[in-house]
């Protein structure tokens, strides 16, 4: 923490701040400048907030120096974390594709779509049983019935399942069916839910809130990690901006930023990131080119009749073409999408 005193702060005010710094167990370090005095706060600043100092008399502002997260940080854990699920390794050389319908709607819909995405090369099946919706009048998911259909698909097709959990009471239930628990964008700041998924030992896919910074996303991951669950993946899924041509603005910068700040695997969701199926393949390619470890993609065998998110769902045919393109991009940067490939893994460049 660095505390900047106001232009013209008195010696008494400076002494007051020094005393306050010391009373909190930190060591002050004073630099007297021409226009203002700066006081460095030496010690682990994470538990305190800048405002503690901004209210002292004579203080202009206080600035945090360290990132507020620790367990999620690459400083703390320099090597990439790899999350393993039934033989699938996320965060390693292989690019992982999670695909399936937005919502589970019926056995036919799920099985048809699931078989198609497996055939095309997806590694993990996604599907929503509990659905967060803006309108109370919209379809809210099949609930338990949806979870049972997902288990059926899992067993028939030997595909791990990722599905959303929306409230702390449902965590134990959903964990009985899912291989990966998804915390959705609307719940990224739901600390009760974050703690609940931190207390069980299941991998968690944590989506960035549409209004959340990269730092806040990593603080949400920190909530889960701090409860003792190390298997967290973070997911960029588009942020809200002034642009209205697309549903969200996929933050491509966040991919390399996250890879540099955290050791956790980074997944990209081009379906929500764009909101339009026509744009999904281009943004999926881009995300992999930028270094994402995997994709989360909505696919529906009949998007025009989907009960949710039809506009951003690919048909199985489009998905198969997308995955072929993504494979070529992955190979261009020394990665792969398939388990069988024997290509050498060489990082694109140390600084990329």
Nearer of residues 126 and 131 to a second copy, judged by Cβ: 131
Place of tokens 């460095």: 40
Nearer of residues 100 and 291 to a second copy, judged by Cβ: 291
Nearer of residues 176 and 260 to a second copy, judged by Cβ: 260
Nearer of residues 159 and 248 to a second copy, judged by Cβ: 248
Smallest separation, CB 291 to a second copy (Å): 5
> Hey, which residues does 28 pair with through a beta bridge?
41
The whole-angstrom distance between residue 51's C-alpha and the CA centroid of its chain comes to: 28
Nearer of residues 85 and 91 to a second copy, judged by Cβ: 91
C-alpha span between 332 and 19 (Å, rounded): 58
Smallest separation, CB 25 to a second copy (Å): 12
Contact 112, 100 (CB under 8 A): no
Q: How far is CA 180 from CA 93, 159, 174, in A?
A: 20, 12, 9
Nearer of residues 11 and 351 to a second copy, judged by Cβ: 351
Smallest separation, CB 93 to a second copy (Å): 16
With 0-12 CB in 10 A as exposed, 13-18 as middle and 19+ as buried, what is 89?
middle
Q: How far is CA 177 from CA 117, 125, 225, 260, 325, in A?
A: 20, 12, 22, 33, 32
Smallest separation, CB 125 to a second copy (Å): 22
Nearer of residues 153 and 250 to a second copy, judged by Cβ: 250
Nearer of residues 177 and 250 to a second copy, judged by Cβ: 250
Smallest separation, CB 339 to a second copy (Å): 20
Nearer of residues 161 and 314 to a second copy, judged by Cβ: 314
Place of tokens 């360290």: 66
Smallest separation, CB 133 to a second copy (Å): 7
C-alpha span between 28 and 228 (Å, rounded): 34
Q: How far is CA 191 from CA 82, 168, 194, 230, 247, in A?
A: 25, 10, 5, 17, 26
Residue of 30, 23, 73, 81 lying closest to 48 (CA atoms): 23
C-alpha span between 185 and 192 (Å, rounded): 15
Smallest separation, CB 84 to a second copy (Å): 25
Smallest separation, CB 211 to a second copy (Å): 3
Smallest separation, CB 66 to a second copy (Å): 6
User: Who's near 203: CB < 8 A, 6+ residues apart?
Assistant: 83, 85, 90, 179, 180, 181, 231, 232, 233
Residue 73 is given by DSSP the state B
């Amino acid at each position: 923490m660095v505390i900047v005193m106001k232009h013209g702060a008195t010696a008494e005010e400076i002494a007051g701040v020094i005393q306050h710094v010391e009373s909190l167990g930190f060591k002050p370090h004073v630099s007297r400048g021409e226009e203002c005095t700066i006081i460095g706060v030496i010690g682990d600043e994470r538990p305190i907030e800048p405002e503690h100092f901004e209210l002292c008399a004579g203080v202009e502002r206080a600035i945090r120096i360290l990132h507020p997260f620790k367990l999620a940080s690459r400083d703390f854990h320099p090597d990439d974390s790899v999350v393993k699920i039934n033989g699938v390794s996320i965060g390693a050389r292989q690019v992982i594709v999670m695909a399936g319908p937005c919502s589970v709607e019926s056995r036919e819909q799920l099985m048809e779509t699931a078989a198609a995405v497996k055939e095309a090369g997806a590694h993990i099946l996604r599907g929503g049983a509990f659905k967060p919706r803006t309108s109370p009048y919209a379809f809210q998911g099949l609930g338990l019935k949806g979870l049972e259909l997902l288990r059926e698909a899992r067993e028939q097709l030997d595909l791990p399942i990722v599905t959303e959990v929306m409230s702390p009471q449902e965590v134990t239930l959903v964990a009985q069916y899912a291989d990966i628990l998804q915390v959705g964008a609307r719940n990224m700041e739901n600390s009760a839910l974050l703690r609940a998924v931190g207390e069980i030992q299941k991998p968690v896919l944590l989506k960035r809130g549409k209004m959340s910074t990269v730092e806040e996303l990593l603080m949400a991951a920190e909530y889960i990690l701090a409860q003792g669950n190390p298997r967290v993946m973070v997911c960029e899924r588009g942020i809200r901006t002034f642009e209205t041509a697309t549903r969200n603005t996929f933050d491509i910068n966040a991919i390399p930023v996250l890879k540099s700040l955290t050791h956790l695997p980074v997944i990209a969701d081009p379906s929500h990131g764009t909101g339009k199926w026509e744009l999904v393949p281009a943004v999926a390619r881009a995300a992999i080119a930028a270094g994402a470890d995997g994709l989360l993609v909505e696919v529906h065998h009949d998007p025009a009749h989907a009960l949710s998110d039809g506009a951003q769902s690919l048909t199985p045919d489009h998905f198969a073409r997308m995955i072929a393109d993504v494979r070529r991009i992955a190979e261009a940067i020394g990665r792969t999408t398939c388990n069988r490939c024997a290509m050498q893994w060489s990082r694109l460049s140390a600084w990329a």
